[in-house]
Chains A and B, each alone.
With several copies, the nearest count.
Chain A
Amino acid sequence: MNLFEIPVPLELAPLEMAPLEMDWGWGLMMTGVGMSVVFGLLALLWALLHLIARGDEWAARRAARAEAAAVAQAPAPKPVAAAPASPTVTIADPDGLDDDTIAAIAIAVIKHADVRRKQAAPEMRANAPGSQLWASRWVAVGRGLQNTPWRRR
């Protein structure tokens, strides 16, 4: 249906038409049937959403039950000995680094690894370094994921 071939109904002059001829029956039928169908469909959808939600709850309950059973089956953990005077774990480090320093280094290392990971395989890059435009590392990661189908992201 090409718009430019449609004969434009220039004679359409709404107000001049006799409103008496209007098909009220058709209009009311449309309204009645239309809104009934819309309400009916969405009510059906509501029922289905309820069913899915039930499924979720049931799955959650089953998981909880399974966990409880696992806990029950597991040997009761030995009662913890009375807390000694100084309960805090201290990482003995021969280099003489204290805990805070080790924690800071750990975070720095993790962060560094994260940054390196994001930069990904630089030899796959089609673009100049510094360009964030095409981010072909994302492509690389995408292809990689496609090629190891059993690892969940």
Chain B
Amino acid sequence: MNSETLRLLLDGVNNLSWQSMVMMAIGLLLIWLAIAKEYEPLLLLPIGAGAILANIPLSPLVGEHGALTTLYNMGVENELFPLLIFIGIGAMTDFGPLLENPKMVLLGAAGQFGIFLTLLLALALGFSQPQAASIGIIGAIDGPTSIYVSNKLAPELLAPITVAAYSYMSLVPLIMPPVMRLLTTKKERAIRMPYSSREISQRTRLLFPIIVTLVVSILVPFATPLIGMLMLGNLMRESKVVERLTGAASNELANVVTLFLGLAIGSTMMGERFLRPATLFIMGLGLIAFVLDTAAGVMFGKLLNVFSKGKFNPLIGAAGISAFPMAARVVQKEASRENFDNFVLMHAMGANAAGQVASVVAGGVLLALMGAA
């Protein structure tokens, strides 16, 4: 056994840097959050595993011929994976509550203020324009949108932005309530809203995805991929004639793509790229984005309350941030904290579905304004 052989065998240990060790620790933390806390495990577990495997010293999984890099090139670089996931999300989403209450659409718009306010903060911290826009998109509170937009505008920030988006998304039930309580009075939270369910015809359910696709895509071509895929999934679901495709899109395809997407994004969490002050700033700005979104939603709810002469419960505004369907449940929980039998879930679900659409629209608008393709 000569020294060359020994060197080959100890290559791994010799190349162990503090960065790789910190990154492996972060990977373990993500896995712990996924398993012990069940924070978005479907994505955080693969991301954590990808981060560990990519930061093993001399890991053959990354680099020109690495398998994780192959996965990255297969679906992240060309944005295919987030778009395929959107087909599945569309196939799983019921826009019924929104169709019953079309005016909730405006609440979805209000829930996007956080995007632009965070963009301003990021600019103030010295991030470049495309980077600031990418950080702002965390405020869309929608995983695939964040991945799609940041990959277009600032791929070097893809990893921290994705980690921030999914981490905080799983923390929505912790982040939202304090903001909601701070900005509303007990009386406002107790407002009851009548709910007259009306039957949504099959025709309406089919027209909705088609019209949304046409209107949004023609006016904001940059939003075409996001809105088109989301609405394609929904059209397949509501058409009821292509169950095989709907099932494949929302199950097999979504599962495999989620696994690949998580591993690929984790593999971009390389020490020297991730362990920078910028990452910490992004984590902080992401949290602020969530808070700002919630606050903007509630404030817009208060505005509607004024216009409707006290008949609108401002809590529902907070459901406009997307994070479907978690945000709507948090709103319902807060409402029933004040008043056990106050049932605002269906209104909140409407606002929540609007938030899903609005997030995608906002992502497209951001891309359009940046002029990137």
Direct contact of A and B (CB under 8 A): yes
Instruction: Report which A residues bind B (CB closer than 8 A).
Output: 1-4, 6, 8-10, 12-17, 19, 22-24, 26-35, 37-39, 41-46, 48-50, 52-53, 55-56, 59, 123-124, 126-128, 131, 133-134, 136, 138-139, 142-143, 145-153
Residue B247, interface by CB 8 Å: yes
23 sample A-B contacts, Cβ–Cβ < 8 Å, listed by A number: A2-B77, A15-B125, A19-B124, A19-B125, A30-B366, A34-B362, A37-B365, A38-B362, A42-B108, A42-B109, A42-B357, A42-B361, A45-B105, A45-B215, A49-B99, A126-B91, A127-B246, A128-B243, A139-B250, A142-B42, A147-B326, A150-B173, A151-B38
Report Cα–Cα, A126/B239, bound state, in Å.
10
- A46 and B358 contact, Cβ closer than 8 Å, known pairs A124-B94, A142-B244, A145-B38: no
Q: Is the CB of B250 within 8 A of A134?
A: yes
Write out, one digit per residue, whether chain B residues 54-90 have a CB within 8 A of any chain A CB (1) or not (0).
Answer: 0000000001100001001100110000000000000
Report Cα–Cα, A75/B342, bound state, in Å.
43
Chain A residues lying within 8 Å of B219, measured Cβ to Cβ, are 41, 44
Chain B residues lying within 8 Å of A15, measured Cβ to Cβ, are 125-126, 277
**Contacts A15-B277, A27-B123 supplied; 4 other A-B pairs, CB < 8 Å:** A3-B76, A6-B155, A8-B272, A149-B170
Q: Is the CB of A42 within 8 A of B126?
A: no
Report Cα–Cα, A1/B373, bound state, in Å.
11
Q: Is the CB of A43 within 8 A of B106?
A: yes
Neighbour of A1 across the interface among B77, B325, B358, CB < 8 A = B77
B198 CB → nearest A CB, Å: 8
Beta-carbon contacts under 8 Å, B322-373 to A: 325-326, 329, 354, 357-358, 361-362, 365-366, 369
Report Cα–Cα, A12/B72, bound state, in Å.
24
Q: Is the CB of B41 within 8 A of A146?
A: yes
Inter-chain contact total with CB atoms closer than 8 Å: 212
Chain A residues lying within 8 Å of B158, measured Cβ to Cβ, are 3
Neighbour of A3 across the interface among B77, B92, B120, B241, CB < 8 A = B77
Q: Is the CB of A53 within 8 A of B250?
A: no
Residue B237, interface by CB 8 Å: yes
Query: Which residue of chain B has the shortest Cβ distance to A17 in the bound complex?
Result: B126
Report Cα–Cα, A32/B357, bound state, in Å.
20
Instruction: Report which B residues bind A (CB closer than 8 A).
Output: 1-2, 5, 9, 37-42, 63-64, 69, 72-73, 76-77, 91-92, 94, 98-99, 102-103, 105-106, 108-109, 112-113, 115-117, 119-120, 123-127, 129, 132-133, 155-156, 158, 170-171, 173, 200-201, 203-204, 207-208, 211-212, 215-216, 219-220, 237, 240-241, 243-244, 246-247, 250-251, 268, 272-273, 276-278, 281, 325-326, 329, 354, 357-358, 361-362, 365-366, 369
Report Cα–Cα, A43/B278, bound state, in Å.
36
Q: Is the CB of A127 within 8 A of B106?
A: no
Q: Is the CB of A14 within 8 A of B365?
A: no
Q: Is the CB of B105 within 8 A of A14?
A: no
- A3 and B268 contact, Cβ closer than 8 Å, known pairs A45-B105, A49-B208: yes
Q: Is the CB of B99 within 8 A of A30?
A: no
Neighbour of A52 across the interface among B69, B116, B211, CB < 8 A = B211
Neighbour of A42 across the interface among B106, B244, B277, B329, CB < 8 A = B106
Q: Is the CB of B127 within 8 A of A14?
A: yes
Query: Which residue of chain B has the shortest Cβ distance to A149 in the bound complex?
Result: B38
Report Cα–Cα, A147/B158, bound state, in Å.
24
Query: Which residue of chain A has the shortest Cβ distance to B101 in the bound complex?
Result: A49
Report Cα–Cα, A133/B240, bound state, in Å.
15
A14 CB → nearest B CB, Å: 4
Q: Is the CB of B325 within 8 A of A126?
A: no
Chain A residues lying within 8 Å of B170, measured Cβ to Cβ, are 146, 149
B308 CB → nearest A CB, Å: 15
Q: Is the CB of B126 within 8 A of A31?
A: no
Chain B residues lying within 8 Å of A9, measured Cβ to Cβ, are 156
Chain B residues lying within 8 Å of A30, measured Cβ to Cβ, are 116, 119, 133, 366, 369
Report Cα–Cα, A79/B117, bound state, in Å.
68
Chain B residues lying within 8 Å of A59, measured Cβ to Cβ, are 201, 203
B145 CB → nearest A CB, Å: 13
Q: Is the CB of A148 within 8 A of B173?
A: yes
Q: Is the CB of B38 within 8 A of A2?
A: no
B283 CB → nearest A CB, Å: 13
Neighbour of B116 across the interface among A31, A48, A138, A143, CB < 8 A = A31
Neighbour of A12 across the interface among B113, B204, B276, B326, CB < 8 A = B276
